[in-house]
């Protein structure tokens, strides 16, 4: 039987998934020196509740209290060969800014010769009528620091004294966990799958040990790294454990990681950024090469609102 990869152009000859790089990397700056000045109402965020990369930007927008400053439209979680679509439905809607039917139209409006995959998140500039960036990494930092004059939020997710350590742990988590689940799930050879899955669980074991003595990854206050990890952990038992064959352990089985997940989930405003219906329908229906029946499981049964006890940790 011939194996059909989810994204053929991102698959190596040995069956490994190699994610495409972000194509648009312009920056919104507080002083406007980049050509894209921070301004209320100028920029619009196109996202999916299902996508972990988009979820990161939704979370920072929420934590920094930028909802009235930067608009947001959610795409249909069911994606077909035409890409992400703007449709009316529960938790998603048509595009009120440009009237686009598909996110691909934003990409083509920015670069008519664009040939890559059409990904979320996207930050759209209503003045220049183009995508500023489709990099979730950049958007987390832009939302964290460049719009501060428009918000009363004192949160700083990328503090000066921790930046090198944050960058190093971000890289470790991305390579082994965030993208690691995809390397396992999208692998088209046994060797590629096993290598990715073993690296994933080795990393999760290390992170669980790290969290035994500290509330968050760097101590008593969360930083951007915590939210970069959160978006994978929140999807893990519902999707990655079964659908992506990451089934050595569940997050529920990790005493520290599961308490940490509950702690982050219970942070003010975060639960409303988590849409399990969109998450499960996207993965189980869209990835029909992995799940050809398109049956969406009813589980798991996990109480993310239960007491976590992590407030006792002072480190």
Measured between alpha carbons, how far is 208 from 192 in angstroms, rounded to an integer? 25
- CA separation (Å) from 148 to 5, 26, 126, 138? 43, 19, 20, 16
Three-state DSSP state, 83: strand
CB 42 within 8 A of CB 33: no
Token pair for 211: 């969290």
Find, among 314, 178, 301, 156, the residue nearest to 246 by Cα: 178
Q: What is the CA radius of gyration of the chain?
A: 19
Count CA atoms closer than 13 A to 222's CA, side-chain side: 21
Residues designated catalytic: 51, 182
Three-state DSSP state, 4: coil
Q: Where are the alpha helices (DSSP H) in 122-281?
A: 136-145, 163-173, 180-185, 190-210, 224-235, 241-243, 255-265, 276-281
Q: How far is CA 75 from the centre of its chain?
A: 14
Token pair for 179: 């993208």
Measured between alpha carbons, how far is 88 from 73 in angstroms, rounded to an integer? 11
Token pair for 240: 């990655």
């Amino acid at each position: 039987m011939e194996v059909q990869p989810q994204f053929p152009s991102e698959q190596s000859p040995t069956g490994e998934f190699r994610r495409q790089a972000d194509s648009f990397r312009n920056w919104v700056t507080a002083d406007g020196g980049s050509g894209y000045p921070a301004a209320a109402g100028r920029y619009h965020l196109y996202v999916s509740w299902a996508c972990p990369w988009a979820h990161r930007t939704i979370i920072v927008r929420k934590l920094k209290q930028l909802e009235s400053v930067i608009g947001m439209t959610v795409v249909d979680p069911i994606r077909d060969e035409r890409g992400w679509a703007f449709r009316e439905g529960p938790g998603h809607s048509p595009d009120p800014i440009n009237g686009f039917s598909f996110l691909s139209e934003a990409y083509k409006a920015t670069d008519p010769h664009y040939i890559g995959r059409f990904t979320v998140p996207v930050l759209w500039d209503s003045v220049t009528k183009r995508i500023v960036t489709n990099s979730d990494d950049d958007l987390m930092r832009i939302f964290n620091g460049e719009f501060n004059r428009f918000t009363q939020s004192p949160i700083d997710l990328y503090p000066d004294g921790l930046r090198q350590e944050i960058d190093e742990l971000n890289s470790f988590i991305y390579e082994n966990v965030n993208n690691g689940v995809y390397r396992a799930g999208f692998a088209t050879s046994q060797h590629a799958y096993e290598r990715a899955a073993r690296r994933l669980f080795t990393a999760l074991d290390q992170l669980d040990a790290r969290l035994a003595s500290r509330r968050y990854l760097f101590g008593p206050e969360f930083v951007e790294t915590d939210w970069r990890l959160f978006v994978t952990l929140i999807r893990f038992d519902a999707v990655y454990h079964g659908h992506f064959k990451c089934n050595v352990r569940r997050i529920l089985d990790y005493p520290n990681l599961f308490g940490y997940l509950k702690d982050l989930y219970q942070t003010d405003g975060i639960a409303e950024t988590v849409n399990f219906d969109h998450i499960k329908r996207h993965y189980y229906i869209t990835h029909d090469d992995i799940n050809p029946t398109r049956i969406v499981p009813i589980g798991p049964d996990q109480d993310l609102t239960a007491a976590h006890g992590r407030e006792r940790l002072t480190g």
